Structure 1
Amino acid sequence: MLRIDRLEQAVPALGPIKSAQPRTLNWAVVSAELGTGLPQDFMELAERYPAFIMADFLSLHLPDPGEEVGFVRGMKETLRSLAALHEEEETEGYVPYPEPGGLIPWGDSAEGDNFYWLTGRDGPDSWTVVVETRNGYWATYEGTLTEYLVGLVTGTVEPDGLPPDFPGKNPTVIS
């Protein structure tokens, strides 16, 4: 997919952790456990890479083959935390999935920020990005996860609520 190729170009440090062979993931299990499919760019990224941390800051949660159920359990734990925040009216009106228009987590940061998809009725490939910072600031990006990451690296997306120098022009990547 073009978006994944653009991410690989923007973040050359991904090269050393790229799988030599596509990682075979059981997306049917993920969908059944979660109750929805996930965006195509995310699935393609997970088939090429293990979970990784970019710029010693952003952890991108990707499932490992055979660990799909555990991956979804982790997502559901984050959703429970989000539900508690929502009950305390600290989510700027955002709701956790499976509520209509609910958020689904895809990453977090070393400083306690959380990254989500904002689900919608047009399906996973139309989902956009929501960032919840540790300071209670919420920001949105009208694009896909990979477009968001590419934009952060190339400087076309502001790191709203995140450290102003994140991720830098040539971020490190560790798995």
Structure 2
Amino acid sequence: MTATALERLKELLGEPACWGWARPRLWEAAEGHLGVPLPAGYKAFLDLYGPGAFDGFLHMDRPVDGTAAELERLWPTSGPKSHLDDPDRYPFPFHPQPGGLIEWGGEEDGAVYYFLPEEPDPADWRMVVETDEGEWQEAPGPVTEFLLNLAGRPHRPGPAHRYRQTPTP
């Protein structure tokens, strides 16, 4: 049997230090807020590892209390309409517009990672990265495969791959 991308990530990153809890009601609240289901692999990764940073540069977050304020902080419903004003700079709509980008991660240098929810099945959504230079790059999903591809690139010097959890308040 072939290992799933999540299983291969777990082999690469090791056991999570202390997270490992799933709270379906939090994801249900998030999806209710967004009005679309989120990819199962994304939820499973964050249920296993929690909020934190992949390889110390790609920060990922997830709901921890499910309040309206937290969900709005993670996924604002008053998304930018920049693509209407400057389609050359912003070639994609932003959520909550239909098919609009949904942010799922970011880097300290300003790069932002999005889901492109054009496919009916969230597992088929492509990833879109807005670089810190304002360039747009697309990559196939699912997010766990995307993370494996990032791990396979010599993109950052330093120790072996790891995921550091963000302390929760």
TM over 0.5: yes
The two structures have a TM-score, normalised by structure 2, of: 0.81
SS across alignment from 1:32: helix
Return the letter of the residue paired with 1:76: W
SS across alignment from 2:104: strand
Which structure features the higher share of helix residues?
1
Per the alignment, residue 73 of structure 1 pairs with 72
Q: Matches of 2:66 and 2:78 in 1, distance apart?
A: 19
Return the letter of the residue paired with 1:120: E
RMSD: 2.5
Per the alignment, residue 132 of structure 2 pairs with 134
Using the TM superposition, name which of 47-56 and 127-136 deviates more: 47-56
SS across alignment from 1:15: coil
The alignment of Structure 1 onto Structure 2 pairs a total of residues equal to 161
Return the letter of the residue paired with 2:7: D
Per the alignment, residue 9 of structure 1 pairs with 11
Per the alignment, residue 36 of structure 1 pairs with 36
How far the C-alpha of 1:60 sits from its partner, in A, is 1.1
Per the alignment, residue 159 of structure 1 pairs with none
Instruction: Report Cα offsets for 1:92-116 as digits up to 9, x if no partner.
Output: x211123232110000101011000
Gaps of 5+ in 2: none
The two structures have a TM-score, normalised by structure 1, of: 0.79
Gaps of 5+ in 1: 156-163
Per the alignment, residue 51 of structure 2 pairs with 51
Return the letter of the residue paired with 1:54: F
The verdict on how the C-alpha distance between 1:24 and 1:84 changes in structure 2, with shifts beyond 3 A counting, is same
